[in-house]
Amino acid sequence: MCGIVGYVGDRDCADVLVDALSKLEYRGYDSAGIAVFEKGTIKVEKCKGRLANLVDKMAVDGKPQGHCGIGHTRWATHGEPSDINSHPHGNKRVSIVHNGIIENYKQIKDFLVEEGYSFVSETDTETVAKLLDYYYVDDPVDTIIKVLSEIKGSYALGIMFRDYPDTVFAVRKESPLIVGVGENENFLASDVPAIIKYTRDYYLLEANEIAVVKKDSVQIYDMHKEPVHKEINTADWDVDAAEKGGYEHFMLKEIHEQPAAVRDTVSPRIINGMPDLSQDGVDMQKLKEYRQIFIVACGTAMHAGMVGKAAIETLARVPAEVDIASEFRYRDPILNPNDLVIIISQSGETSDTLAALKLAKSRGVPVLAIVNVVGSSIARAADYVLYTYAGPEIAVASTKAYMVQLCVLYLFALRLAYARGRLSEAETRRYTDQLLRAPEIIKAMGVQCVIAKSFARIFFRNSINNGLLLIEQPDLYDDMKEGDEITVVMNEHVDYNGKEYPIASLPANLMSIIQAGGLVKAMRKLNGLD
């Protein structure tokens, strides 16, 4: 995963690119770089490490001066993190930034070497840059179409040609890419947070659509060079949503945003005290007919799916399986038209998850997507969509997105159980009421101590790193009620209503992190910085 940005307009291009990259740095910390048109040439500045390293380097070398350029923050795939392997790549005629994997880059590289090209990096990206140069004559769009016909894999590309100093070209296949539309300025970005400071309006590029971006126009073509007319999307959140808002870290901010995110996601789907998914296109009759449910996701979303499986099987008594998306398609799952595949993705653009969705659709199986981004690739391809209203999640460790995914899965499980007669109306109302009160419960508990029956490994790790005390005690969780007071004797027991509930001891290293207020603060203290 890498971050791509581009800009054409009257502002200082280097400043805009660096600012936009700062909102996408979660997509890769291995290196950063920009390419800017300066007096008819493409000037490149790039280096290994965090974006701050690039800023420091430009303070010494001189910041590129211009109004059109592209930028990149890298998560290394082909080639170790280094200055040479950093993006942008290219030569005097062409410069590109790339997010994704070029599967046949070795064959392309071998061909280009035979044609007299030399390579300086270990990246698959450089082969695309050199192939663009090889085919380029005078029409960039024709050149891009020719190159796309030869490369295989997933990619999002931002491209500049020396002969077009006022234009950024872009194309995508599977990897996300948007074109931001402003007043006499336009943008390119992997995700909305990069551009929300400047505009909320954007085009979402489809596979193999080519965007020609100038300051006063955006033209989009298909692979036959036919114009494509698209509707403008408008982000439904503001600049503050993509900023830290006074918190030291995005993760801490997003933990505090959990109550609001849960409320915004759950409340509209509870009508007269009952879970109601009709507005999302899910009807009672179809819920009665599903034979088996497959839950498919990656990373944290997959962990949410594991909880969803337990809820579905416990409440509705419908068999459910959970698959890592990358494995789902390769194991050749047995799917039937009366099954249901649930796809979970915060971004709605996760490549492996999207591929799993396409497999399910090819087998004639209905797909329900749980996604956060309206109009994303997964949302558009699914038969039904349950949007989670969590807003942007910048931190790599998912917190609020995970929480709202759980809530939507519980809503689905409750509706499924009621539709199939496994829960009475009274039972369904009782569970639904508990879910409706979740925001207040989360807020009341605060974020200093969390008590639960059990913890998923990823949530445990992320919480400890953020300085949260976690107590796993099934009996205590079942016995206590919201608003009750307890006394915690660290690493020994919890006192509640005159009874001692034993709790496991945490290792000394984890206790030091909690006592310091999080991993970052603990490391600063350990190294004498605080």
Tens-digit pLDDT profile for residues 420-435: 999 999 999 999 988 8
Name the residue with higher pLDDT: 76 or 12. 12
Query: For residue 50, what is the domain's CATH number?
Result: 3.60.20.10
pLDDT of residue 462: 64
Name the residue with higher pLDDT: 70 or 173. 70
Query: DSSP letters of 215-241?
Result: TTEEEEE-TTS-B---PPEE-SS-GGG
Most confident range, picked from 139-153, 252-266, 436-450, 475-489: 139-153
Q: Which of 242, 263, 292 is the last residue of a domain?
A: 242
Given a cut of 80, is residue 481 above it in pLDDT? no
pLDDT of residue 443: 67
What's the rounded Cα separation, in Å, for the pair 215 and 219?
A: 11
In order of 4, 7, 71, 164, 504, the CA distances from 212 in angstroms are 16, 12, 17, 11, 59
Query: For residue 473, what is the domain's CATH number?
Result: 3.20.19.10
pLDDT of residue 422: 94
Given a cut of 90, is residue 81 above it in pLDDT? no
Lowest-pLDDT choice from 45-54, 457-466, 503-512:
457-466
What share of the chain in percent tops pLDDT 90?
51
Crossing angle of helices 425-436 and 438-445, in 10° steps, is: 40
Q: Which of 444, 472, 506 is the last residue of a domain?
A: 444
Residues 115 and 183 in one domain: yes
pLDDT of residue 471: 78
Name the residue with higher pLDDT: 357 or 350. 357
Residues 325 and 429 in one domain: yes
Name the residue with higher pLDDT: 340 or 434. 340
pLDDT of residue 455: 67
pLDDT of residue 374: 81
Q: How confident is the model at residue 86 (pLDDT cuts 50, 70, 90)?
A: confident
Residues 219 and 341 in one domain: no
Residues 507 and 362 in one domain: no
CA 479 to chain centre: 37
What's the rounded Cα separation, in Å, for the pair 343 and 303?
A: 13
Q: How confident is the model at residue 366 (pLDDT cuts 50, 70, 90)?
A: very high
Mean pLDDT of 312-327: 94
Crossing angle of helices 519-526 and 508-516, in 10° steps, is: 100
pLDDT of residue 483: 64
Q: Is the peptide bond before 337 cis (omega within 30 degrees of 0)?
A: no
Q: How confident is the model at residue 507 (pLDDT cuts 50, 70, 90)?
A: confident
pLDDT of residue 512: 83
Residues 498 and 481 in one domain: yes
Q: How confident is the model at residue 77 (pLDDT cuts 50, 70, 90)?
A: confident
Given a cut of 70, is residue 466 above it in pLDDT? no
Based on the structure, what is the number of domains in the chain?
3
Q: How confident is the model at residue 469 (pLDDT cuts 50, 70, 90)?
A: confident
Averaged pLDDT score across all residues of the chain = 87
Residues 436 and 455 in one domain: no
Domain extent, residue 18, equals 3-242
pLDDT of residue 435: 87
Residues 333 and 209 in one domain: no
Give tens-digit pLDDT for 276-304.
998 888 877 888 889 999 999 998 899 99
Mean pLDDT of 441-463: 64
Residues 237 and 339 in one domain: no
CB 423 within 8 A of CB 417: yes
Residues 211 and 237 in one domain: yes
Given a cut of 90, is residue 330 above it in pLDDT? no
Residues 464 and 436 in one domain: no
Given a cut of 60, is residue 447 above it in pLDDT? no
In order of 286, 294, 520, the CA distances from 419 in angstroms are 9, 19, 48
Residues 387 and 491 in one domain: no
Query: For residue 329, what is the domain's CATH number?
Result: 3.40.50.10490
Lowest-pLDDT choice from 139-143, 285-289, 366-370, 449-453:
449-453
Residues 144 and 292 in one domain: no
